[in-house]
Every structure is written in C-alpha cells, then in structure tokens.
Amino acid sequence: MKLAFSTLGVPGLPVPEVLALAAAHGYDGVELRAHPEEPVHPGLSPARRAETAAQFAAAGVEVLAVAGYARVAAPGDDAPVLDEIRALLRLAHDLGAGAVRVFPGAGTALPPEESDAVAARRLGAAAEDAAALGVRILLETHDSHRTGADAIRVLGPVGHRQVGALWDVMHTWLGGEQPSQTCAALAPHLGYVQVKDIASAEDTTPLPLGAGVLPLAGCVAALTGAGWDGWLCWEYEKRWYEAAAPLPGLLGPGREYLDRLLSASA
C-alpha cells in the first residue's frame, strides 16, 4: 500500500514545505484540503494550478486527492451542490489528483431514505463529469453516513465506477462497525482509507498513530485480507484541535508505525 498524509494536519502550510515534509519522511502522496484558507482551493488561478502540479511532479510526490466540503445529501437544491462538486473535479484534474472527497451532510431535515436518494441522484449526475475528467468522487464515511453500511445505501444505487468510497476509520468505529464489516461493504467501491488515532469516543483529539483506541491493525488486516492494495492517508485533524501536538514531528514515527502494520499483515 502507498502512504499519504493530509494537509489538515499542517493548516496553511505552503506547498513547497508540505512537499519537503513528504519527501523527508518517505510519504508517497498528499491529500490536499481544498478550502479558501489553504494554499490550494477551487479559486486558484490556472497559472497557480499549473505551478502547483509542477511542484508535486518535481518532488516525485502524488496529489492523492482534493478534500472538498460538498455535502451531497444536504437538503436544498441540487444545482449549488453539483456546481461545488464540478469545481472540485476541475481542480483535481488540473493538479493531477485521482479523486475528490465529498461529505454526506444529510442532517435531520429529511428521512434517511430521502437523504440517500438525494445523495445518489447528485452523485449520479456528477459521475459523467468525473469520468470526462478522469477523476473519482469519493463519499467519505462521515456525519450522517458514518458507517460502511450507511455509505453503501448511497453508492449501490449510483452504480458508477467514478463514484466510490473514502473509509474514515474513526467514523466507522464510532458508528459501531467492525473493520471486517466496513471492508466487506466498501471494498468494491474503495478509493482510499483515512487512518488516525484518538483517545476515546468522548475525546477525539488527534494522537500519534498507535497511541489511541482505533483498530488500525484490524483495518489494515482486513484490507490486506481482501486483497486491497491502495492508499492509507493519515488525517491528523490539527486544524480543529490547536492543542494537539504539531504533525511534522510525528510524521516519521507515523510512517514507521504504518510500515510495521503492513509488514505484520503481509
């Protein structure tokens, strides 16, 4: 498997410094948080997009994905959500990224079956745009659809290869799902996996990998057992937890920890 980390762990850090961290600690790729407060976002000019893509290419580091904030199951009109997804797709294409991340974001305004249908309709509508650009749309296990069983209620009806899943191991664990269950549900659709660690269900402050309660070994074992050989991306949520330890000093030990899990499950 290939290893990446998310720029959520180093908020606002310029791209050259992100790439220096990836190269120094042996990470194959980076997940770019696409938000206006970050160096890379959908408002970036064509020149800056080309410059950023060239920087990644020169460093030999891949842009794993563009992590956007479109909420595909949210109530309201389809058009703004589809516009947001399409902007993310164009950004990912211009940067050479293989995927964009979207959230469910259903809330409680609609019954679950209606939210599922809304999300499936929007993802289906955007799927051809994704295919034309060579980018996948990945629905993260998050908020209203935090388990693999939740996500598959949307992905099944879409039935398009350009629409898949992003497995966030914290949310499936918080949803009471075992790694083997999540893997079985999502494996046919899986784009990549976000790994992280926390102290408990009540305290989700990010910790170094292996220092918390999340079943990371079980996740890697389940993936290996299923014959999956994709990306593991460390999403260290420093942006939301200012008191958390800085990520740069943890990247080396984190890489070593993931290497040990991969070796143990080989």
Among the listed residues 5, 92, 100, 101, the one whose alpha carbon sits nearest the alpha carbon of residue 52? 92
SS (H, E, C) 10-49: CCCCCHHHHHHHHHHHCCCEEEEECCCCCCCCCCCCHHHH
**Which residues are CB-contacts of 100 (< 8 A; sequence separation ≥ 6)?**
34, 65, 66, 67, 68, 85, 88, 89, 91, 92, 130, 135, 136, 137, 138
Structure confidence at residue 55 (pLDDT): 98
Q: Which stretches of 175-227 are DSSP H helices?
A: 179-186, 216-225
User: What percentage of the chain reaches a pLDDT higher than 90?
Assistant: 98
CA–CA separation, 55 and 264 (whole Å): 34
CATH class in words for 2-265:
alpha beta
Structure confidence at residue 42 (pLDDT): 97
Token duo for residue 100: 């964009």
Among the listed residues 168, 165, 164, the one whose alpha carbon sits nearest the alpha carbon of residue 179? 168
Residues 208-245 pLDDT 10s: 999 999 999 999 999 999 999 999 999 999 999 989 99
Domain map (residue ranges) of the chain = 2-265
* 256 within 8 A of 208, measured Cβ to Cβ: no
The whole-number mean pLDDT for each consecutive block of 10 residues of the chain, a chain of 266 residues, reads 97 98 98 97 98 98 98 97 98 98 93 97 98 98 97 97 98 98 97 98 97 98 96 97 96 98 91
Structure confidence at residue 109 (pLDDT): 84
* pTM score: 0.97
CA–CA separation, 163 and 231 (whole Å): 17
User: What backbone torsions phi and psi does residue 205 show, to the nearest 5 degrees?
Assistant: -55, 130
Token duo for residue 29: 């790729």
User: What backbone torsions phi and psi does residue 232 show, to the nearest 5 degrees?
Assistant: -110, 125
The number of beta carbons lying within 10 Å of the beta carbon of residue 117 is 16
The amino acid sitting at 173 is W
CA–CA separation, 89 and 132 (whole Å): 10
DSSP state of 76: S
